[in-house]
Each structure stands twice: as structure tokens, then as C-alpha cells.
A and B are shown apart, each in its own frame.
Chain A
């Protein structure tokens, strides 16, 4: 059938051929198994090529049904193609919120498990895996397996962070967290240097949520100057009376859309410089406490639909590394100096203190994670290659959900767990039939 298409991840780079198939139920997915190399795709929010099947890609979005919900424990059972946005729309008015959420709510449950996403509360609550009770996984042998810490435990743990390479997640049970309102008490702390930023993170380890935006163009003594944001779910008695009367009402600003992809990037150096300077100045003046909506605290970019297009047709790459605690300050100084010197900057630079490592192949480790994005181009390719080398030199690793550029050789040094994962896949007959363009590139 003439159904080969070119797909990209959210970064619009790289573009890879695949056969795209969709199914509305588990039985139909079992009928789509392709021994030549397939992978499941959620809502296409991974940046690079992990959700593009080598031969076949299975679009899971139609498997989006709720199956059960326990009001007493917050345990939600749903099909893997349901997005966090849908979960929030349905359950926030009933007092529940995802226990862990990445910076976009447009990810699916299956995608969140496969990438083992983390959020602004990783230092306290761990990654998504900690809130997964079980899931049903369809193997390339056509057999469905219920996986939990008691049942098929090894498969359970490899799957969370396994980028879809252990099977197709069909449905999952996850715990939501109870919340009293749709509001976050935010504390904004401007810092003047990297050391100050890191000190502020360490001093606020008890905060439920924490994240910093870094000014990547600041150099010299202000290198690493940031806006640190801390957040707590607001209690109903902490809301002013007009809000308390309707405590789960969502205050949503206008949603913008980028309706077409411009041929060249709109995010050039001067734009980034202006944005960074403005953003820093604006938030610096807002230091202190404020009440912000859940949507603006967790998902500021989701308000701009298809924002990925502003980088133009060539797309952009995300670079996200985590550096172990002991090496973090030295590593971040080296990286930020290099980025400031390049004058390329990054539109979005996010720093986050991470908690302990969990699971055999999940991204997080105790330390600091830095996330940046750069438009695709020869200059930035050299820059991101240097950043990968710096990550390696400081004992860090990269986030596969955002990776589009790492080579197999780099992977084997940066994250030797990949070799163990690849061996385990071979031993279990998964390495042949479950393949993405990313798994080919990284030798997984």
C-alpha cells in the first residue's frame, strides 16, 4: 500500500520514512506487528526520532479510553494513547492531578511511561515510574503481559525509560495526586550567578516543585544567572474568596497557533538576545510570591500551539543532559561559557535539580539537568557535539526523549547502560522486531 510517509518528532528534525498505521483497539494493534522493525508513537512530542519506526510506526492516539478510576486512591486505569491534557481536563475538576508531569501536557500515558518523564518535582517525587502501578505490554510475539513490580518485574522496569523498545504499552494504571485547587503558589527568586542558582536550589530542596530558567547569554560574573521558580499546590484556604468559590476553574489565557512553518528560523541570535534580556528583567521585577494557574506554571509553552514551527523548516534540536552532583557546577560552568561565547544562545534554557537515580534505563540521576534548544544548522551541530563531549567529560548522560544527534559511539561512553539494554533486548527476542530510527542510530 502506498502509505509510506516521512515523519519527524516535535523538533521537526530529523525527517525519516516509515509506514504509519493506526488502530483503535488492542486486537487491531496485534494485527499490525511488523517483524521488520516497528515502534509505537503517542502524540509525537518526543523531539527527535525515537517514535519513528524503522519499518512501521503505530499511531496510538485512538487508544484513548478511560477504563477505571478509584476515587479513594487516585488510581487511574486508561489506554496508553490518552494524553495528560485529557487526564487534567477530566480529573482536575474532581481534585486530582498527574503525580509527575513534563513541561507539556500533550504527551500520552504510554509516551510518558516509555520515556519515563520527569517533572519539576523530580527531587522529591521521582520520575513517572514511581507512580505507575502496572501496565499491559504487547510483545512482538503477539502476547499481552501484565507488568508490575510483582509480575514480569524485569520487563516492567526496562520498559519505563525503554523508549518503546520492549513492547507496545496498551493500557496502564497510574496514581494521580490529590489537589485542593487549580492554583500554584509560586515563589520567584532571581539569582546573579550559577553558584547562587545552585545554592538556591539546595536551600529549597523541600519545595514540591522547582525549576530555573537560565539566561544563556549572560557571561563573566553573571554566567548562570537565573530565575528560580518554586511551586506548591495552593490549598483552598489560600485562595482569595473570588477564586476559592470556584477553586478548580482553569484560568486559561488565549491560545496562539503558529499556522505554518516559515522557510527560515524566526529565532535568530538577535531575537534570542532580546528575549533573554527582557525575560530576565521582567521576572526579576516579579521576585516574590504570587498565585499562578496550573497551566501557566507547568505548561507555559503549551499556550502556543505548534510552537515548534518558529524554528523554520529545518527544525531544531533539544539538548538535555544530566550531570552528577559532584561534577555539576564545573560541568555547567564549562557548558554555559561555551554557549555564551557562541552567541547562539538558546530560547529556552532550563535547569533543574534532580533526585536519585531509579530504574535500569531511566534518564535521571542525582545532580543537575540542563535543557536547551537550538535551531538545526552547521554551527549548532558543532556546538551540540561539543556539549555532548562536555557531558561525557563530567560523567553525565543524555535524555533519549529529546535526543536526535547522538551517535552509537557516543552513547556507549555516555551511557553504558545502553549496552546492557541492547543485550537484554537481544536475549528476549525484542531487538529485531522493535526498532525505531533512534534505536538504529544508537545501536540499542
Chain B
């Protein structure tokens, strides 16, 4: 039975992804900060799909937590999905460097360092799939969310580098770009329904990407075009726009 490690397992996308893989018979390792919430998700997965689930308390931005997680996993998983992310508040981030640092570390530093270590372990074994959930916000810095966006840009570049570095070792790296998703992170935001995916849709896209060894996945393909257009706007014009 293959095993999937889900990091940031209490997020809506992570929970939907865990269910999708459990439905296919994967055993699960759930890592996150809230042990009680992890236990509830684990109980659900065990009853729903009758798979083995272990839970691991870990705050990905803390080096000791990352080390403890990697040292404490009962088996090296076959695949890992990292769904850690923090949207934060852009206005607050502009004036409060502690808040900005939290967003940068949660979206880039912590996840990248953890996935980097896992990639090394996978490469030593010769197999493994790494799925990083980044964001279309990382494709061009915008006034409305550049702190979050820049951290995600770092994450996207890191995943791209991992893929390049381990391309010949049997380790596969997937970058998932969900666009808007109907989750707690976007609750209360006015997001356009036609561009907004359900967590189950993201989970299915991740499942397909792992099965079919895809590299970069836009959950809703329209985002590829939207970002191509936004990316093509000359900087001189872009700085005058509010997109």
C-alpha cells in the first residue's frame, strides 16, 4: 500500500486531497500544527476509506519541527503534498514586518526547506513524488498581494529548481497552481465563481498530476491564459494599472 504525506493537512485542499488518495488505497501521514484537528481528520479517513493514518504535529516554519517530522515518520512516504500556506493581509504586511515575515516564511521558507529535504531522501531511495501547492499570485507581483505573491514566486522557482535538479533520479516534482479556491482562505472574499475551484477539484487535479506525472498544473486551465496576458503587459503600463 503506497503512503502519502500531507503537510498542512488541516487545510480544505489538503483534507480533500487526503480523501482522494485514501479512496485509491493510500495510507496517510498527516502533518500540521493542530493535533486535535488532525486527529478528527484521521478518524474520518480511517472510517471512510479503511486506510491506516498517522498524525504528526509540525509547524513547518520551525527548523526543529521539520527535523522532528522527518525523523519521526514511520516510513518514508511514496509521495508528499505540501498544502501549507498563509494569505495574510497585504495592508498589514506593508507596515508590520513581523506579519510580513510570517507570510514569507509560511509560503516559502518552511515548505521549500521541508520539500528540499524530502527530495534528497526520495533521491537516495530512487523514487518519490513531490507536490507543492504554489499560486498564480507568484507569477507577477501585484499591488494587492505582493508579499504573499513574492513568497509564492519563491516557492514556484524552488519547485522548478527541484524538478530540474532531480529530473534524472526518479523523483518527480509537481507544481500546482490552483487559482481561486473556495476555501477558508478565501471565505468572505468576492471571488468570481467561474474562476473559483472547489477543494475537491484541486484534489482531483493533484491526483491526476501524480498518476500522469505532470509537471505544472493549473487547476482551471483558464488561469494559464489569464496569467499569460497579465505577464505580457509591459512594466511601464503595468505600474499604472490596478489589477
Residues of A within 8 A of B (CB): 1-3, 21-25, 28, 62, 65-69, 90
In contact, A1 and B188 (Cβ under 8 angstroms): yes
**Known contacts A24-B12, A24-B184, A90-B48; A3 and B190 CB within 8 A of each other:** yes
| Nearest Cβ on chain B to A7's Cβ, whole angstroms | 14
Complex CA gap A24/B47 in Å reads 19
A3: chain B residues within 8 A (beta carbon): 188, 190
CB of B47 within 8 A of CB of A66, answer yes
Shortest beta-carbon distance from A155 to chain B in Å: 24
Of B41, B43, B190, which contacts A68 at CB under 8 A? B43
Q: Tell whether, in the assembled complex, residue A65 and residue B40 are in contact, meaning their CB atoms are under 8 Å apart.
A: yes
List the A side residues contacting B63 at CB < 8 Å. none
User: A22 and B187 in contact (CB under 8 A), knowing A62-B12, A66-B48, A90-B48?
Assistant: yes
B141 to chain A, nearest CB (A): 25
Q: List A contacts of B41 (CB < 8 A).
A: 65
Verify A68–B47 contact, CB threshold 8 A: yes
B41 to chain A: closest residue by CB? A65
18 sampled A-B residue pairs with Cβ under 8 A: A1-B188, A3-B190, A21-B188, A22-B184, A22-B187, A23-B184, A25-B37, A28-B184, A65-B43, A66-B44, A67-B40, A67-B43, A67-B44, A67-B47, A68-B47, A69-B47, A90-B47, A90-B48
A2–B187 CB distance below 8 A: no
> In the docked arrangement, what's the CA distance between A22 and B12, Å?
12
**Which residues from chain B contact A1 at a C-beta distance below 8 Å?**
188
CB distance from A308 to the nearest CB of B (A): 18
B interface residues (Cβ-Cβ under 8 A, vs A): 10, 12, 37, 40-41, 43-44, 47-48, 184, 187-188, 190
Q: How far is the CA of A21 from the CA of B187 in the complex (A)?
A: 7
Q: Are B187 and A65 in contact (CB under 8 A)?
A: no
Taken together as a complex, chains A and B put the C-alpha atoms of A1 and B190 apart, in Å, by: 9
Question: Within the complex, what minimum Cβ distance (angstroms) separates A3 from chain B?
Answer: 5
Cα separation A25 to B37 with both chains bound (whole Å): 8
- Nearest first, the 10 A-B pairs at minimum CB distance are A65-B44, A66-B47, A66-B44, A1-B188, A3-B188, A2-B190, A66-B48, A69-B47, A90-B48, A22-B187
Query: Which residue on B lies nearest to A66, using beta carbons?
Result: B47
Neighbouring B residues of A25 by C-beta, 8 Å: 37, 40
Distance between Cα atoms of A68 and B47 in the complex (Å) = 7
Most B C-beta atoms less than 10 A away, residue of A3, A24, A28: A24
Q: How far is the CB of A365 from chain B (nearest CB, A)?
A: 37
Q: Which residues of B contact A22 (CB under 8 A)?
A: 184, 187
A2 to B190, CA, bound (A): 7
**Complex: chain B residue closest to A26, CB-CB:** B40
- What is the CB-to-nearest-CB distance from B182 to chain A, in angstroms, rounded to a whole number? 9
- A3 and B12 CA atoms in complex are apart in Å by 20
Nearest CB on A from B61, distance (A): 22
Residues of B near A62 (CB, < 8 A) are 12
Check A66–B43 contact: CB distance below 8 A.
yes
Residue in B10, B12, B48 with the greatest tally of chain A CB atoms within 10 Å: B48
**Closest Cβ–Cβ distance, residue A390 to chain B (whole Å):** 42
Q: A24-B12, A25-B40, A66-B48 are in contact. List 19 more A-B contacts (CB 8 A).
A: A1-B188, A3-B188, A3-B190, A21-B187, A21-B188, A22-B184, A22-B187, A23-B184, A28-B184, A62-B12, A65-B40, A65-B44, A66-B43, A66-B44, A66-B47, A67-B43, A67-B44, A67-B47, A90-B48
Residues of B within 8 A of A90 (CB): 47-48
Cα distance A54–B233 in the bound complex, in angstroms:
45
In the assembled complex, the Cα of A23 lies from the Cα of B187 at a distance in Å of 9
Alpha-carbon distance between A62 and B41 when the two chains are bound, in angstroms? 12
CB distance from A174 to the nearest CB of B (A): 14
Min CB gap A9→B, angstroms: 19
Most buried by B among A2, A21, A22: A22
What residues on A are CB-neighbors of B48 within 8 Å? Answer: 66, 90
Q: Which residues of B contact A2 (CB under 8 A)?
A: 190
Residues of B contacting A67 in the complex (Cβ-Cβ under 8 angstroms)? 40, 43-44, 47
- Give the distance to chain A from B232, nearest Cβ to Cβ, in Å: 30
Kindly state the separation between the CA atoms of A66 and B187 in the bound complex, as whole angstroms: 24
Complexed CA–CA distance, A67 and B41 (Å): 9
Query: Bound complex: CA of A68 vs CA of B48, how far in Å?
Result: 10
Q: Which residues of B contact A23 (CB under 8 A)?
A: 184
Bound state CA distance, A88 and B41, in angstroms?
Answer: 20
The minimal Cβ–Cβ distance linking B77 to chain A, given in whole angstroms, is 23
Q: How far is the CB of A30 from chain B (nearest CB, A)?
A: 15
Give min CB distance, B41 to chain A, whole Å: 7
CA distance A121 to B190 in the complex (A): 44
Give the nearest-CB partner of B46 in chain A. A66
Residue of B nearest to A65 (CB): B44
Q: Provide the bound-state CA to CA distance between A180 and B137, in Å.
A: 52
Chain A residues positioned under 8 Å from B47 (CB to CB): 66-69, 90
